Structure 1
Amino acid sequence: MKGTLVRVATATVAIISAAIISYQTVSADRKLPFNDISTSYARNEIIDLYNRGIITGTSLTTYSPVDSITRAEFITLLDRLLSLEPVISPVTPYTDLAQSAWYYGWIQAAVQLQLASGTSATTFAPLKAVTRQEAAVFIVRALKQAASVASTHSTFKDGSQIANWANAAVTVVNKLGLMKGDGTGNFRPSDPITRQEAAMLIYRVVHTDSWPTEMVEESQERIVLGWQYGQTVAEFESNIQQSNVNTLSPRWYFVGGTGSVSDSTDLSLVTWAKKNDKRIWAMVGNRSDQEATHQLLSNTTASHVAINQLLAIVNKYGLDGLNIDFENVEPKDRDNLTTFISILAEKLHAVDAILSIDVSPDLGTDWTDAFDYTALGRRVDYIVMMGYDEHYGGSVSAGPNASLPYVQRAIDKLQAHVSSDKVILAMPFYNRDWTLKVDGTASSSMYISLPEQNGRIKTYSLKPVWNASLGQYVASYTEQSMKHTIWFEDGRSLIAKYRLAVKERLGGVAYWYIGGESVDVWSSMRNAERFNDYSF
């Protein structure tokens, strides 16, 4: 009897213990973000990434760990991993991306940064499952590791099945310990990657020793200058608040032939800039008046009048600097322009103010003969290269406003004379809609802002095609029997130029003009800053 009681007591304890364990498990699972991950081998990794805001479920209560992850879902994971913003740009070549889809902005952000591309020139296939080799390519792009591959020799038994375009990426993720084989020595490149496998992959990236420190490391601040044009102060301030601009350049001052400076300073903007930690380099123009500019520069008295008035203005309003925008200057005024800028720079530097000057690309014409790039580069703090007007209103042939090769050539020529860290690349927030003759030459062109450009996409149901060599989208439409062509400026084309500024280690970028942009551009440029300013 005693033995029976012991056995009963022992069984009772076991049942109670099991019930307690079962209760604790249920209780713990109730605290999980999803009710279907308790038995997943990636359970803890999913919880970690969920708490970091990197992953979400297939519903409010389910993660679907064994389901394949789609291209849209995987790209969204990468964007969140990199702390990117979704970009609702209307310019896309993909016919299977609806702007109303939850993933539209995430895919646009990745495409603009070259993290992802379509399955064809016109399709992205957002709902298609991601294969293991595709996941390797995506992650390597995100970590900017592809260029470091020394050997693509595969150690996997099924290495011959890995596509040529994925070989290097698979080698990298394997060396980094981010993706391994299946335990039998195979990589299974064409198998879909599951949502729990994707979580494991992203978790390994997050918990790589160098990742957290590199992502929060302060990058060297670049000048991001925005010119005010055609806007009230209130409108200008509103646009700046949405942007990543840190240096304002309002068009307040113009110099005439006698050296007299017209003053249109708005003190409310000065106050607002200081309150919002923005610098002001006010623009000083010559109204593109060649004769008056010659009188100013060739007359010592007039030059000194202008220089002294400009110095007084900087002191009076507490400006951080000036931005000289003298255009249409005669070649014969080259030395006098250099002298004028040299004296002004000396005066401003004495009061700790910055002097920058805007120049055009050297195309071997007399339009830029007045600029002694070498001498000016020694005197001023920054030279702003106006990297646009490749094709302008008077051009015989139609073409882009600022293609990537055009901008690269302009920077290369300037860098032969000026230190890279003194160069600021100016990019356009405007474009041209070209009307073409039957033979394809230009009949006329219309100056348009980016919202106006984007409006034509909707009006004419355009599907722009990306031209990688130009770094721009292009599309055509017909109106009243006349063919029109637009080479688009958008977040993707601007990021391509920003990437050039980073690669060449330039001092910063500038935008002509604030108010000409579409609001999505600022998400694109913030993404460009985040992605280009970290290394893994």
Structure 2
Amino acid sequence: MMLGSLAGNCGPAHAAGNKPDFQDTHTSYARAAIDRLVSQGIAAGTTEHLFEPKKAVTRAEFASFAIRLLGLKPVNNSINPYGDVSAKAWYYGNVAAMTNVSLLEGKGQRLFRPNASITREEAAALIARMLKQRPVELNNLSDTYTDAAEISTWAQPYVQTVHKLCLMRGSDGLFRPGDQVTREEAAVMLDAILQKNAWAAQFKQKQAHGIQLGWQYNSSTAEFMKQVQQSPVNTLVPRWFFLNGDMSVSNHVNSTLISWASRTDRKLWPLLGNRSNKETTHQMLSSSANREAVVKQVTSFVKTYKLGGINVDFENVDPSDREGFTAFVTSLTNALHKLGAVVSVDVSPNLGTDWTAAFDYVKLAEISDYMVLMSYEEHWSGDPKPGSVASLPWVKRALVSMLTEVANDKTILALPLYTRDWSMASPETASWDITLGEQAIRAAAAGSRIQWDTRLSQYRVNYTAAHAAREIWAEDSRSLSAKVLMSSEQNIAGLAYWYMGGETADVWNAITNAMRFNSYIF
């Protein structure tokens, strides 16, 4: 029996299905496991007729086997996590995908060493993380393996965990932690996970995304539809309705988008905005007659165009209009509910400033259907101090704080698909917003320096332009995955994205991977 094979009462293997025809696996103890994994597209031979079962499996190969087993998609990150992994390598998307959901760790700052073999203790740690297992810290590992003293201190809890789960069992009382894992051993380890029917079933189940809301901005209808098609977005927010100074509501409805949303089974919650005009907003909110006039117009639009809802985006509202805004949302919600439509309200994190003083989070949450937390602008345009637009600790604090006042199933977390290019010398006047695509170009340029900030869960990109230092706190597949994983643990209603078109194509696979991985229960 080879190391990594099952032992004791760990359960029988499933019957193999259609078997690949490898010339070199007929005498392998792992033949059945190899056949099952290859048949399911999880593992692959080194050639059409060779598997090379005794060959050491590389870190890149193991990552590729693991990502396929978990049912996750490759992600071609626009910012490469590792300096020694080519973006053109066949395994790049698999390694990046595993890194995004924090299953893989490098071998130092931006080093992965893809062609190095993986050791048995490293494999134990990876498998435990794949199954979201909290490592078991016991002092009796020496009772299990006579070579327990050779197992690295950091790896001991992981080895104990996979042993307890019957996923890795040594032979002759030895674990051999530093031994290279062979391709046949890797097959047995991963196949053992699939022997747990409750686990295996989850890898194939259809994924539920909840609400996935996308705002249209600076794009035509055709561009917006294409952006949505490439994403998991199921709730469209075009910028159609705006409050005017004469208390009319401008109407920019596009019939093509209405028809397309209906055909593709997507919801339409057009935006009702105030263009951040404090004076016009006060004029409306401070008058019950004006409030009702606006509600009547919006209700008519919803009825005429058979809209699924309205997304209220009022910003720069005077604190004195707090009661008026609550009254307006109350009236609008009551009117739209009669039509079967919903109301979502966009709010910034409640940091105790005048910017959010007009919003009574508790009452608005009780009245409306959803509250959309715009979790960005931690450091804003014109901020004298440069920094992240939305670092993970800040976003988490904002969300956790909101959930003390708003029910989880009414909360939608909005994530940024933009960032800011900061001047370190003149951040207030010489900094500007950039898309994630523009960010990727700067990060890849000669002379740019990239470092992952573990505390913020973001890359920091430094470069020099016109002899001046500049810095970007990057939003990319990896940073967004961290935020999605965090928010998924809060069981909220869904996610929103400001704005569609600001992203690079890779972020969507990264986001859906994070949602899928978080849904697994082992």
Q: State the TM-score bracket (shorter-chain normalisation).
A: over 0.9
Residues in 2 aligned to 1:118 and 1:353: alpha-carbon distance in whole angstroms: 48
Structural mapping, 1:127-142, within 5 Å: 127-142=115-130
Unmatched 5+ stretches in structure 1: 1-29
Following the alignment from structure 2 to structure 1, what is the Cα–Cα distance between the partners of residues 139 and 465?
52
Query: 1:188-212 deviations in whole A, cap 9, x for unaligned?
Result: 0110111000001111111113212
In 2: Cα distance, 1:462 partner to 1:108 partner: 20
Distance in 2 between residues matched to 1:152 and 1:417, nearest whole Å:
44
Q: 2:291 is aligned with what amino acid?
A: S
Question: How big is the shift at 1:32?
Answer: 3.7
Q: Relative to structure 1, is the Cα distance of residues 376 and 31 closer, same or farther in structure 2, using a 3 angstrom cutoff?
A: closer
Q: Distance in 2 between matches of 1:122 and 1:481?
A: 26
Which stretch of the first structure deviates more once superposed, 342-351 or 326-335?
A: 342-351
* SS at 2:376 equivalent: coil
CA distance 1:467–1:306, shift in 2 (3 Å): same
Q: What is the alpha-carbon distance in structure 2 between the residues aligned to residue 59 and residue 462 of structure 1?
A: 39
Secondary structure, in 3 states, of the residue corresponding to 1:514?
coil
Partner of 2:151: 162
Quick one: distance in 2 between partners of 1:312 and 1:443? 43
What is the SS of the residue equivalent to 1:486?
A: strand
Amino acid at match of 2:486: L
Distance 1:480 1:503, change over 3 A: same
CA positional deviation for 1:312:
1.1
Map Cα deviations across residues 206-249 of structure 1 (whole Å, 9 max, x no partner).
Answer: 11132123334566642110001111111111111110111111
The total of aligned residue pairs comes to: 503
Deviations 1:65-84 (A, max 9, x none): 00110000000000000111
Q: Distance in 1 between matches of 2:81 and 2:202?
A: 33
Matched residue SS, 1:251: coil
What SS does structure 1 have at the residue aligned with 2:405? Answer: coil
1:378-527 correspondence to structure 2 within 5 Å: 378-437=366-425, 444-527=430-513
Contact 1:222 1:508 in 2 (8 A): yes
Measured against aligned partners, the alpha-carbon deviations of 1:429-474 in whole angstroms (never above 9, x if no partner) come to 111111112xx96662111000000011222353421112111110
User: Alpha-carbon deviations, 1:310-348, whole Å to 9, x = none?
Assistant: 111111111111100000100000000000001111111
Return the alpha-carbon distance in structure 2 between the equivalents of residues 333 and 433 of structure 1: 35
Aligned to 2:164: 175
* 1:257 positional shift: 3.8
Letter in 1 for 2:150: Q
Quick check: which one's helix share is greater? 1
Kept after mapping to 2: 8 A contact 1:92/1:464: no
Change (3 A) 1:31 1:366: closer
1:151 matches 2:118 = no
CA distance in 2 between counterparts of 1:34 and 1:369 reads 68
Tell me how far apart the structure 2 counterparts of residues 34 and 277 of structure 1 sit (CA, whole Å): 45
- 1:66 corresponds, among 24, 43, 54, to 54
1:256–1:296 Cα contact (<8 Å) kept: no
- What TM-score, normalized by structure 2, do the two folds share? 0.94
Aligned counterpart for 1:363 among listed residues 326, 330, 351: 351
Unaligned runs of 5+ in 2: 1-17
Secondary structure (helix, strand or coil) at the match of 2:160 reads helix
Distance 1:115 1:343, change over 3 A: same
Q: Is 1:125 matched with 2:113?
A: yes
Q: Counterpart of 1:532 in structure 2: which amino acid?
A: N
Does the 8 A contact of 1:158 with 1:186 survive in 2?
Answer: yes
Q: Which moved more, 1:453-462 or 1:70-79?
A: 453-462
Q: Quote the residue 2:63 is aligned against.
A: 75
Deviations 1:344-367 (A, max 9, x none): 111111221110000011222101
**Alpha-carbon distance in structure 2 between the residues aligned to 1:226 and 1:119:** 37
Counterpart CA distance in 2 for 1:191 and 1:455 is 41
- Supply the distance in 2 between the matched residues of 1:422 and 1:257 (Cα, whole angstroms): 32
Superposition pairs of residues 93-492 of structure 1, within 5 angstroms: 93-146=81-134, 149=136, 151=138, 153-154=140-141, 155-182=144-171, 184-217=172-205, 221-437=209-425, 444-492=430-478
Superposed displacement of residue 277, structure 1: 1.3
Deviation at 1:146, TM superposition (A): 2.3
Of 409-418 and 306-315, deviating more is 409-418
**Partners of 1:103 and 1:48 in 2: how far apart?**
21
CA distance in 1, matches of 2:473, 2:84: 22
Could you give the per-residue CA deviations for residues 13-64 of structure 1, whole angstroms, max 9, x where no partner exists?
xxxxxxxxxxxxxxxxx97432211111111211111110000112222111
Q: Distance in 2 between matches of 1:352 and 1:501?
A: 28
Please give the secondary structure, in 2, of the residue aligned with 1:197.
Answer: helix
* Contact 1:259–1:304 (CA under 8 A) maintained in structure 2: no
Separation of aligned partners in 2, 1:326 and 1:31? 61
Partner Cα distance (1:346, 1:33) in 2: 66
Equivalent residue of 1:90, what SS?
coil
Letter in 2 for 1:432: R
SS of residue matched to 2:240? strand
Aligned partners of 1:212 and 1:89: how far apart in 2?
A: 27
Q: Over aligned residues, Cα RMSD in angstroms?
A: 1.6
Aligned-partner residue type, residue 119 of structure 2: T
Higher Cα Rg, which structure: 1
Distance between the aligned counterparts of 2:385 and 2:316, measured in 1? 22
